[in-house]
Amino acid sequence: MAGFNEKTPGSFTIWTDGACIDLRYGGWAFLIHDDRDGEMISSSDGVDHTTNNRMELAAVIEGLSAIPEGSSAKILSDSKYVVQGINLWMKKWEKSGWKRKATKKDSGELKNKDLWKRISELCKKRSVIACWVKGHNGDQGNEWCDQKATERASEVLQADQMSRIGKLPEIDPLMAATVRNRKRSEGVSYDFVVGGVRVQMIFPRELRPVEVDGFEQLLQTGIGDLLKSPSQDDRL
């Protein structure tokens, strides 16, 4: 990613945010301000099969990757998981082999270890501090990132829904089998397909299978005879 990497090292402010819909469809976004000249860049993307915390961390990784090594960066995030992880926990995790303190109920396995390792590598080549900002509280950078991350997550969700629709089998409604036992307040309705035409009949009671088969046969015979007989125009 190019970003600001062509510039000389400097001071940057980075807003980051992540979003996740239905515990699966995710999005991340960052907005970077070059504190020297006011230039700004941004980026966002969507991911399937993820979590909100992974998207929060992905935004940080992408943001830090977009500024030159040797720079100082202030990350603004509404995620305390991100802020406390960078400022307080990350160095402890690295010293302990990327594990947390184990308890009787917790093995100490660190979640999202792969992403935290990557953030640690990026921070070693940059001077980084993370600051917490309250979400949905008027901070324009945070609001923008939240909106874009949510949009990207929604796009992934929509793409998945469209792919599922595309996998539905092709059907010919006129050739569908008889639909039986659809109950209505005025009786029991039965659908018959006769000569490619759907015919709906409503009976005061539910018919026995033999009665349904018999009525269907009568319809088939009656309509067949009607189609074979000459029309009035043909007889003139």
What is the DSSP secondary-structure string of 17-84? EEEEETTTEEEEEEEEEETTT--EEEEEEEESS--HHHHHHHHHHHHHHTS-TT-EEEEEES-HHHHH
Predicted pLDDT of residue 227: 57
pLDDT digits (tens, 9 = 90+) for 73-119: 999 999 999 999 999 999 999 999 998 887 877 778 899 999 999 99
Predicted pLDDT of residue 195: 66
CATH code of residue 95: 3.30.420.10
Would you say residue 191 has pLDDT above 50? yes
110-114: which pairs have CB atoms within 8 A and are 24 or more residues apart? 111/53, 112/53, 112/54, 112/57
Predicted pLDDT of residue 202: 78
Of 150, 157, 123, whose CA–CA distance to 135 is shortest? 150
Residue 112 lies in a domain: yes
pLDDT digits (tens, 9 = 90+) for 35-86: 999 999 999 999 999 999 999 999 999 999 999 999 999 999 999 999 999 9
pLDDT digits (tens, 9 = 90+) for 217-229: 777 776 666 556 5
Residues 150 and 182 in one domain: no
Residues 135 and 184 in one domain: no
- Average pLDDT for the chain: 86
Residue 189 lies in a domain: yes
Into how many domains does the chain fold? Answer: 2
Sorting pLDDT into bands at 50, 70 and 90, what band is 183? Answer: very low
Residue 174 DSSP label? G
**Distance between CA atoms of 51 and 23, rounded to whole angstroms?**
6
**Distance between CA atoms of 26 and 172, rounded to whole angstroms?**
37
Residues 149 and 204 in one domain: no
Q: Note the pTM of the prediction, 2 decimals.
A: 0.70
Of 83, 117, 119, 84, whose CA–CA distance to 98 is shortest? 117
Contact status, residue 94 vs residue 121, Cβ threshold 8 Å: no
Residue 226, SS3?
A: helix
Sorting pLDDT into bands at 50, 70 and 90, what band is 234? Answer: very low
**Containing structural domain, residue 177:** 173-228
State which of 116, 142, 166 marks the end of a domain: 166
Q: Token pair for residue 16?
A: 């980051």
Residues 33 and 72 in one domain: yes
